Amino acid sequence: MTKHFAPLCLAALLTLPGLTFPGLAGAQEAEAPGRFGIELNNASETEGGNCRLTYVAENHSGHALDQTEYQVAVFDAEGIVSRLLVLKFGKLIDGKTRILQFELPGTPCSGISRIVINDNSACIDAETGKETDICMSALDATSRTDIRFGI
């Protein structure tokens, strides 16, 4: 009787809402429907002293997108906005991952304290051809670097 009790308890625990398990959370989030993820994956210095930023965009929103662009604010080391830029990710079908690199001339990575997604400047649904709010409403922004990145 007891050897059947443990699997039954585990099965019951797995069905509890809000219960998470270390190691499983990342896999569940990565494939969560209704999510549009942008990760600041890497920030590296070029030979010329510029900062090269690598972004990973993942479209799990349930919508194919014809055009995807975000306006971002770059803050310097003192926390002052130094630039407003537009990151153009282009077409992203549902389930698509795209990796893009952007170089900031005249800016070393140590000169950037954070990057904020100010708004989307284009988010066009492929099916309707119209602007959609999914690029901001489903956005999950994360960073693997020392530079803070978010909304």
pTM, whole model, 2 decimals? 0.76
Averaged confidence pLDDT in the chain: 84
The single residue listed with the structure tokens 């994956």 is 41
Residue range 53-58: average pLDDT?
96
**Which of the two residues, 18 and 51, has the higher pLDDT score?**
51
pLDDT tens per residue across span 34-48: 899 999 999 999 999
The single residue listed with the structure tokens 């604010």 is 73
pLDDT at residue 7 is higher than 60? no
Q: What local confidence, expressed as pLDDT, does residue 34 receive?
A: 85
Contact 67, 120 (CB under 8 A): no
